[in-house]
């Protein structure tokens, strides 16, 4: 898994470390990306809802408790594939991170690649290819939270209510691009 460095803007958030993998293919991809001069990207996730949201970041296997008005900033050294970010609500976890959420559930605090999620989630998705981020919002499986998703050098996307897939259908996901080098990505729940 990718290693994320987390910086919290609120002392009320809890975070757990990402795991690692021994995959030689992943290691080769990461080394190739570094050799090509890939630079870090900052992803900031902000909760403007009046209730707590537990964002999930997959495939990095990350998740935190994000109270109203709080932000979670991830410094992503290199992204080598597709990344999904969604909000989970009404969650309850034990000290080991085991538990469930009413919406967006993936079976625990840390959502790993291949985690099954509750079908009704509003997802911010992005991937990197040839020095650009390709990004979008999908509600292909449903809607659970209003969401804005933007790139500092690209379009600002908005999904404020069920049915926003008409504005940003999954087929047009790759129509939104921005330069990956030094760009900042922003996800806002309940904008």
167, 145, 101, 44: CA torsion to nearest 10 = 100
pLDDT tens-digit readout, 54-96 = 999 887 777 889 999 999 998 765 555 688 899 999 999 998 8
Residues 6+ away with beta carbon under 8 Å from 185: 41, 42, 43, 44, 126, 133, 135, 149, 150, 151, 152
CB 43 within 8 A of CB 74: yes
Question: For the whole model, what pTM was predicted?
Answer: 0.73
pLDDT tens-digit readout, 99-152 = 999 999 988 888 877 665 666 889 888 888 888 888 888 887 889 999 999 988
Please state whether beta strands 184-189 and 83-93 pair in parallel, antiparallel, or not at all (unpaired): unpaired
């Amino acid at each position: 898994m990718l290693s994320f460095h987390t910086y919290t803007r609120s002392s009320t958030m809890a975070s757990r470390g990402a795991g690692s993998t021994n995959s030689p293919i992943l290691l080769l991809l990461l080394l190739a990306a570094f050799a090509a001069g890939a630079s870090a990207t900052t992803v900031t996730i902000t909760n403007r809802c009046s209730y707590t949201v537990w964002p999930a970041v997959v495939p990095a296997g990350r998740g935190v408790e994000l109270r109203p008005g709080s932000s979670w900033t991830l410094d992503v050294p290199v992204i080598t594939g597709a990344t999904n970010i969604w909000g989970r609500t009404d969650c309850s976890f034990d000290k080991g991170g085991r538990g469930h959420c009413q919406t967006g559930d993936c079976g625990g605090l840390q959502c790993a690649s291949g985690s099954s999620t509750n079908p009704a989630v509003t997802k911010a998705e992005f991937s990197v290819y040839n020095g650009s981020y390709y990004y979008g919002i999908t509600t292909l499986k449903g809607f659970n939270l209003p969401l804005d998703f933007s790139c500092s050098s690209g379009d600002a996307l908005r999904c404020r209510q069920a049915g926003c897939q008409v504005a940003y259908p999954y087929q047009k996901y790759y129509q939104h691009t921005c330069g990956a080098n030094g760009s900042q990505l922003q996800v806002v729940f309940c904008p």
